[in-house]
A and B are shown apart, each in its own frame.
Chain A
Amino acid sequence: DVKVTQSSRYLVKRTGEKVFLECVQDMDHENMFWYRQDPGLGLRLIYFSYDVKMKEKGDIPEGYSVSREKKERFSLILESASTNQTSMYLCASTQGQFEAFFGQGTRLTVV
């Protein structure tokens, strides 16, 4: 069974903290993505990576950075968390034009 695993289901962080969200896939996929999902706004792409050490900005990259040092792992970093980054974060991976597989999501609350 294919698997995308996110390190946490729920996180509560304080404003100004540096936050790391980790995602690991076991399918040897080239492409990995970070989305955030908010009510009424759907899934919005933050960053994606099509190879190790390669990254591209998505639609809403401000306040975020990413790291992909190994093919199977893609990290999302909130440099200084703010309350407007409270959201559901979803990691996905895909190979070429085939379907993307998603992790279970991390619900992040910034207080």
Chain B
Amino acid sequence: EDQVTQSPEALRLQEGESSSLNCSYTVSGLRGLFWYRQDPGKGPEFLFTLYSAGEEKEKERLKATLTKKESFLHITAPKPEDSATYLCAVQDGTASKLTFGTGTRLQVTL
């Protein structure tokens, strides 16, 4: 059974204070690892897909990396508008379904 564990559960940063969110996974044949951002009361919004170990993707202040066992979402010099819950999900090789972690709730303060 696919499993995704995200840490920390919650993270409070000051504006400009860089940090990383972790996503550890076990899956039979990784087809893809996905990062989403979710604002309160809304559906998840797609950020990145990573397909193989060593791959990296960047978008503005966010950078996602992937190893064979985990993925990191690095946030460089965050701003208050980066405050959200960040979700990680994996898709295995046998099915199209996504298995999600419980998310990291990020708060960035001035």
Contacts and interface: CB of A to CB of B under 8 A. Distances in A.
Interface string B74-99: 00000000000001010100011111
Contacts, number: 61
Instruction: Tell me the interface secondary structure of chain B in the complex.
Output: strand
A94 interface: yes
Instruction: Tell me the interface secondary structure of chain A in the complex.
Output: strand
Contacts of A43: 44, 87, 89, 100
Interface residues of B, number: 24
A41 B91 contact: no
Given A99-B49, A100-B46, A101-B46, A31 B96 contact: yes
A51 to B, nearest CB: 11
Contacts of B95: 56
A41 B100 CA distance: 10
